[in-house]
Amino acid sequence: MSVFSIGKFRYSEQGDIQLQSELEMLAQATEIDLKFGVLDPQDEAVLDESALLRGDGLVFNVFSPGENDVGSLWKEAAAAANKGLRTMGYSVRFSRWEQVQNLILPDQVKTTLERTHFGRFISGLFKIQRASSCGFGIFDNGIDQVIEGEPNNCKDLIYKTFLLNWDLGPNALFVWKTRT
């Protein structure tokens, strides 16, 4: 299992050092490892596909503690999301992004997911207002698509990826404006 994660905050002000500090504090609080900068040259091109992310910004890569991917974080979050659905009576096992993409995610599932390390980290990304926009993706063999949307919609879509096996997700970079 190899599942990876990358994100970028676009600076609203040139070289905002406080943004990096805020992201580091979020990672520490949620027990997640971060590396800053583009680790794979192909990632730069993907991050530039959205006009909301082009230009100067803070690129970050997320890792399960002591690992080279987000596999452990993914497993914890996926187990919580699926348990949350089961407690609400859902017995369906989803196998395609199209099955979950338009699903209305119950608040109970979101709350359960936000009790995990990855869920708290993702929720925290949406609270950072220092940048003009953000992109965040979880993927298997590279990002295949860029999906721009409203912050709450992007957060729900990211959460929905945990309802699928790690290798069946949309391999998407979700992009939203942090301020309107």
Q: Taking the domains of the chain in order of start, what are their residue ranges?
A: 4-177
pLDDT of 180:
58
Q: What is the pLDDT of residue 29?
A: 97
138-161 pLDDT, tens digit per residue, is 998 889 999 999 999 999 999 999
Residue range 40-49, pLDDT digits in tens: 888 888 999 9
SS3 call for 135: strand
pLDDT digits (tens, 9 = 90+) for 48-72: 999 999 988 999 999 999 999 999 9
Q: How confident is the model at residue 129 (pLDDT cuts 50, 70, 90)?
A: confident
Helices (H), 48-140: 71-87, 97-100, 107-113, 117-125
3-state DSSP assignment of residue 85? helix
